[in-house]
Chains A and B, each alone.
Chain A
Amino acid sequence: MKKKAISQIILNIIVIALLVVMIYPLAMTLWGAFKNSFTYDQTKWYPTLPLRVTNIASAYKSIKHYIFNTIFVAVTATAGSLAVASLAAYAFARMEFVGKNFLYLAVISLMMIPGVLTLVPSYVLYKNIVGLNNYLVLILPTVAGGPVFGVFLLRSFYEGLPESVFESARIDGANELRVFFSICIPMSMSIMGTLVIMQIMSIWNEYLWPIITIQDDRLLTISAGLLQRFSNVTGVPNYPITFSAYLVSSIPLIVLFFAANKYYIEGLTSSAIKL
């Protein structure tokens, strides 16, 4: 028995050591964000006091417009994509119509089309019909492309709901739209939460499309803004301010993580459901 206890201790030590090594680079930016830029270079490997909270304020000032842009884009795009996805998923799950299987296959097949094929022609298409340098060019791709996985996920969820619930609503004379809003939407709040988190995360992390389509710094979203502002600096960068900006850009995700922990983890892991 004693041998087992020792092996448990060793196992825990190895695991903790690996986790420390993994998190160290991010931890370095975390305490680096609160350092004085003159003494940063001598003390960068470990946290020090006092915390210079003013770094955060000046970093916030320089990136706050990116954050508000991202929140605006994320909210509108996610709402649009969920509306489109849930309506279609309801029809595919609960209604009979001509060409249903074919149309469903046409939607799902889009998962097989890689972004690398559509990037260049999409850029030309958006340039011609909605123009560059506006919010719409950031929002529309998520409203148009985001629902595919949503339809897939929501359809199987709606199909799993018991038929009796729908029957009784229809007998009461509710039309399809009414059934959809009064039954499907309330019952699928949890899975919608997961989809919301997935969409927000992907918008928060997107930088390729914004740096291609947006030249105006005032319209950039957060990841693209961080890339443009802090990666092509000439001369010695101000590390504490840069790291403060990284920290500020993570705060909304941290809030989301603690506020919606359950959906967050499901959102992160549900890409595995695809298989």
Chain B
Amino acid sequence: MKDEYLKKSLGYRLKKSIPAYLFIAPLIILISVFSYYPAVSGIFHSFFDWRQAGEAKFIGLQNYKAMFQDPIFLNSIPVMAKLMLPRLLISIICPLIMAEMLFHIRSKRLQSAYRMWCLLPMVAPSIVGILVWRYIYDPSGGLAVSLLRAFGIIGANQNVDWLGDPNLVIGSLIFMGFPWIGGTSVMIYLSGLLGISNEIIEASMLDGASTMRCIFSIHLPLITGQIRYFLIFGVINALQDYSFQIVLTNGGPGYSTYVPGFYMYKQAFTYGNMGYASAIGTILFLVIFGFTVLTMKLKKSQD
């Protein structure tokens, strides 16, 4: 039927296509105006002196030149790496360990109860999940300080400014979410593990393989799909995420938690430098795009 259809003249096929075009018209119009246009506009205006008010003025590569001489921007890159790499590793490994533990729970009823428990934090708005850490890190009466006092690590009246001390703030942000098992990652790993056929596992048990052996040589190879997924989306999110900065630190103290995405936000919405912000956005886009293409290539060559 398809071949027959392709044999007809283009005019005939276009005429036959009209109903389908009506079906997709709302989508195509909306994404052209509100998705493609901003993307093109962002790259285009990265070559302009573009302010909140007034005409945009073409300035060539000036924004990019300024960016790579801007100490705040240059400093934001290592800050991002220091925040992102540990958090990425944690977010991949900890839920996996938890999923392995849940997988080995013999009672199915307890197992599914624990799974639901893992999801429990998701019923609070995600911003609440970040805001509660403000109270945990309260310098004088927060949970973190109280625990250290209770164990005698610091004096009874000593305070710790977790988010206000430039030497501590990165560590404090990395630690947020401890023990990093809430949310969907555990579920995704666990459903991968439960999908492994029983025969494989039973056969290895009969061969006398230890639990650890079983995990490393059977489980891990069979859930590389999930691990790759967390890795790819973890990197893409980490490159553009600045929620901690918006909610908790405002980039501070000083510039010690500025990441490129947050600097872009500040340039655009605090200083009104839309052009400079677009240049930072374009660079981040290129990095993310390059990374995505690379991973897709790698995946193809593996398959």
Tell whether A46 is near chain B: CB-to-CB under 8 Å: no
Complex CA–CA separation, A176 to B232 (angstroms): 39
Within residues 56 to 112 of chain A, which ones have a CB less than 8 A from any CB in chain B?
Answer: 83-85, 87-88, 90-92, 95-100, 103, 106-107, 110, 112
Complex CA–CA separation, A85 to B26 (angstroms): 9
Q: Report whether A205 and B125 are in contact in the complex, using a CB–CB cutoff of 8 Å.
A: yes
Q: Report whether A84 and B181 are in contact in the complex, using a CB–CB cutoff of 8 Å.
A: no
What residues of chain B lie closer than 8 Å to A227, measured between beta carbons? 127, 131, 246-247
Complex CA–CA separation, A92 to B39 (angstroms): 24
- Minimum Cβ distance to chain B for residue A191 (Å): 18
Contact A140 B34, CB 8 Å, known A23-B121, A120-B278: yes
Complex interface: stretch among B62-70, B104-112, B162-170, B197-205? B104-112
Contact A144 B31, CB 8 Å, known A112-B292, A114-B236, A122-B38: yes
Tell whether B83 is near chain A: CB-to-CB under 8 Å: no
What per-residue 1/0 map shows which CB atoms of A223-263 lie under 8 Å from chain B? 10011001100000001000000100110011001000000
Q: Report whether B16 and A97 are in contact in the complex, using a CB–CB cutoff of 8 Å.
A: yes
What residues of chain A lie closer than 8 Å to B131, measured between beta carbons? 226-227, 230-231, 246
Tell whether B257 is near chain A: CB-to-CB under 8 Å: no
Closest residue of chain B to A261, judged by CB? B116
Within residues 1 to 47 of chain A, which ones have a CB less than 8 A from any CB in chain B?
Answer: 8, 11-12, 14-16, 18-19, 21-23, 25-26, 28-29, 41, 44-45
From A15, A26, A268, B129 is in contact (CB under 8 Å) with: A26
From B13, B143, B268, A120 is in contact (CB under 8 Å) with: B268
What range describes how many residues of A lie at the interface?
Answer: 35 or more
What per-residue 1/0 map shows which CB atoms of A184-209 lie under 8 Å from chain B? 00000000000000000000110110
Q: Report whether B277 and A103 are in contact in the complex, using a CB–CB cutoff of 8 Å.
A: no
From B34, B128, B179, B243, A125 is in contact (CB under 8 Å) with: B34
Interface SS, B side? helix
Complex CA–CA separation, A85 to B28 (angstroms): 10
- Minimum Cβ distance to chain B for residue A30 (Å): 9
Tell whether A143 is near chain B: CB-to-CB under 8 Å: yes
Q: Report whether A15 and B101 are in contact in the complex, using a CB–CB cutoff of 8 Å.
A: yes
Q: Report whether B119 and A119 are in contact in the complex, using a CB–CB cutoff of 8 Å.
A: no
Q: Report whether B143 and A25 are in contact in the complex, using a CB–CB cutoff of 8 Å.
A: yes
Contact A120 B281, CB 8 Å, known A246-B128, A257-B123: yes
Q: Report whether A122 and B34 are in contact in the complex, using a CB–CB cutoff of 8 Å.
A: yes
What residues of chain B lie closer than 8 Å to A87, measured between beta carbons? 23-24, 26-27
Complex CA–CA separation, A90 to B22 (angstroms): 11
Within residues 27 to 43 of chain B, which ones have a CB less than 8 A from any CB in chain A?
Answer: 27-28, 30-31, 33-39, 41-43
Closest residue of chain A to B260, judged by CB? A116
Tell whether B300 is near chain A: CB-to-CB under 8 Å: no
What residues of chain B lie closer than 8 Å to A180, measured between beta carbons? 23
Q: Report whether B143 and A85 are in contact in the complex, using a CB–CB cutoff of 8 Å.
A: no
Contact A116 B187, CB 8 Å, known A22-B182, A223-B125: no
What residues of chain B lie closer than 8 Å to A257, measured between beta carbons? 122-123
What residues of chain A lie closer than 8 Å to B42, measured between beta carbons? 117-118, 120-121
Closest residue of chain A to B28, judged by CB? A103
Complex CA–CA separation, A116 to B114 (angstroms): 36
Contact A231 B34, CB 8 Å, known A112-B289, A121-B41, A275-B225: no
Q: Report whether B106 and A269 are in contact in the complex, using a CB–CB cutoff of 8 Å.
A: no
**Most central of B34, B125, B133, B228 by chain A CB within 10 Å:** B125
Contact A41 B141, CB 8 Å, known A98-B10, A176-B19, A250-B125: yes
Q: Beyond the given A91-B24, A112-B289, could you list 16 further A-B residue pairs with CB under 8 A, ordered by the A residue number?
A: A15-B102, A15-B105, A18-B181, A25-B133, A87-B26, A96-B20, A110-B31, A113-B35, A114-B285, A116-B288, A120-B42, A141-B34, A143-B30, A207-B127, A227-B246, A250-B128
Interface residues of B (CB under 8 A from A): 2, 5, 10, 13-14, 16-17, 19-21, 23-24, 26-28, 30-31, 33-39, 41-43, 45, 98, 101-102, 104-106, 110, 114, 117-129, 131-136, 141, 143, 146, 178-179, 181-182, 184, 187-188, 191, 225-226, 228-229, 232-233, 236, 239-240, 243, 246-247, 261, 264-265, 268-269, 274, 277-278, 281-282, 284-285, 288-289, 292
User: Can you spell out 17 A-B residue pairs with CB atoms less than 8 angstroms apart?
Assistant: A11-B101, A15-B102, A18-B181, A22-B182, A88-B28, A98-B14, A114-B288, A116-B240, A116-B285, A120-B42, A175-B19, A204-B125, A223-B127, A227-B246, A246-B131, A265-B187, A275-B228
Interface residues of A (CB under 8 A from B): 8, 11-12, 14-16, 18-19, 21-23, 25-26, 28-29, 41, 44-45, 83-85, 87-88, 90-92, 95-100, 103, 106-107, 110, 112-125, 140-141, 143-145, 147-148, 151, 175-176, 180, 204-205, 207-208, 211-212, 222-223, 226-227, 230-231, 239, 246, 249-250, 253-254, 257, 265, 268-269, 271-272, 274-275
